[in-house]
Amino acid sequence: MSFSWPWALLSILVIPLIFAIREWARRRRRRAAVRVTSMALVRSALPGRTRWTRKIPAALFVAGLALLAVGAARPQASVPVPQTSATILLALDTSGSMCSTDVDPNRITAAKKAAAEFIESQRGGPRIGLVTFAGTAGLLVPPTDDTKSLLEALDNLTVSRGTAIGQAMLASIDAIAEVDPSVAATGANPRGGGEGHVGAAIVVLTDGANTQGVDPQIAAQEAALRRVRVFTIGFGTTNPAPMVCDNSQFDGGFGGFSRGRFDSGRNPRTIDEPALKQIAQTTGGSYHRAENADQLRTALDALPGSFTVIHQRVDTAAAFAAGGAILITAALSLSLWWNRPRTPTR
């Protein structure tokens, strides 16, 4: 909690002042006390209260004054607010190693299905764009709320050679810049002076390491300068498995395939986890490891809460003032009720 007018908290000092005046008045009444001959008459005139009930009005009054003092300082609370205008760029690895069958039926099919389920779950929420990368990276679908076009694009994904993670991040930044004026394109100078992060994020799903193009750490710095978070997911296992894709998943320019099998000439089961973790750390995102389809779905489902919910400052002064007024009213009401004149019993 923060305060717009913190100096107003000094008004709490009125509470000990009131108690000091009350104590002074009590002592003065004691000196001016009048002697009576009948104590029974005095007791009958006093209200029937216990020692603790006599303190309740005073306690309520003090609490009410304290709440009013806090309210005068204009307190502000940070509350989570859903942000439907957020933008998410899914950058999916379509390198040849995504044909590995360590994830049933293969990595590319499992990734497409998990991405489709994620897109379906975000209907009516943030805009989603789709970037794919192998030897190069390209924007497949600009950020949109058209779920159908995103799903159709996913259905037509094909694998190719190479892994250009850094280039995919730069392509994602440019796609975000097209729809979010607060984010500068990669060829422009970032706009400074902002705090926190913009309402856009990049999700990089890869099963390998960068093999060509821009260094991912340089791309991560570009994203950080623009206050765009990058969330990375390392997909697949380290278990040896054949790499098999059906004919519809082959890029026509991808050589080396024979009857749905191929040898990429490198270890397809090496995920550069240190690099992916560093990307996330540099940009304020997070790294997630997914060794099967269920873990991938879990990782994707957990991400929106990190960047589609923002925290806004809300003025809560009215709530404190209302609470203080209620407590003071209750204190005065109880005091008047318990100190009402009583008719002596005969």
Residue 266, pLDDT > 50, answer: no
Superfamily of domain 84-307: von Willebrand factor, type A domain (3.40.50.410)
What pLDDT is attached to residue 99?
93
What pLDDT is attached to residue 326?
86
What pLDDT is attached to residue 255?
47
How many beta carbons lie within 10 A of that of residue 283, not counting itself?
Answer: 26
User: 263-272, 301-310, 325-334: lowest mean pLDDT where?
Assistant: 263-272
Average pLDDT for residues 8-15, to the nearest whole number? 72
How many beta carbons lie within 10 A of that of residue 149, not counting itself?
Answer: 14
Give the pairing of strands 75-82 and 309-315. Answer: antiparallel
Q: Is the CB of residue 91 less than 8 Å from the CB of residue 203?
A: yes
Residue 194, pLDDT > 90, answer: no
Taking the CA atoms of the chain, what radius of gyration do you get in angstroms? 34
What pLDDT is attached to residue 45?
52
What pLDDT is attached to residue 345?
52
Residue 86, pLDDT > 70, answer: yes
Q: What are the pLDDT digits (tens) for 289-329? A: 999 999 999 999 888 766 655 555 677 778 877 887 887 78
User: Which residue spans within 185-299 are E strands per DSSP?
Assistant: 200-206, 229-235, 257-258, 261-262, 287-290
Distance CA 225, CA 77 (A): 28
Distance CA 219, CA 27 (A): 76
User: 24-28, 99-103, 168-172, 230-234: lowest mean pLDDT where?
Assistant: 24-28
Distance CA 236, CA 102 (A): 7
In 3D, which of 164, 161, 166, 211 has the Cα closest to residue 186? 166
Q: Is the CB of residue 62 less than 8 Å from the CB of residue 70?
A: no
Alpha helices (H) along the chain: 14-31, 39-45, 56-72, 107-121, 147-155, 165-179, 216-225, 273-283, 293-302, 304-307, 317-338
What pLDDT is attached to residue 192?
61
Give the pairing of strands 229-235 and 200-206. Answer: parallel
Residue 1, pLDDT > 50, answer: yes
Residue 339, pLDDT > 70, answer: no
CATH 3.40.50.410 domain range(s) in the chain: 84-307
What pLDDT is attached to residue 256?
45
What pLDDT is attached to residue 158?
93
Amino acid at 92: L
Distance CA 192, CA 342 (A): 73
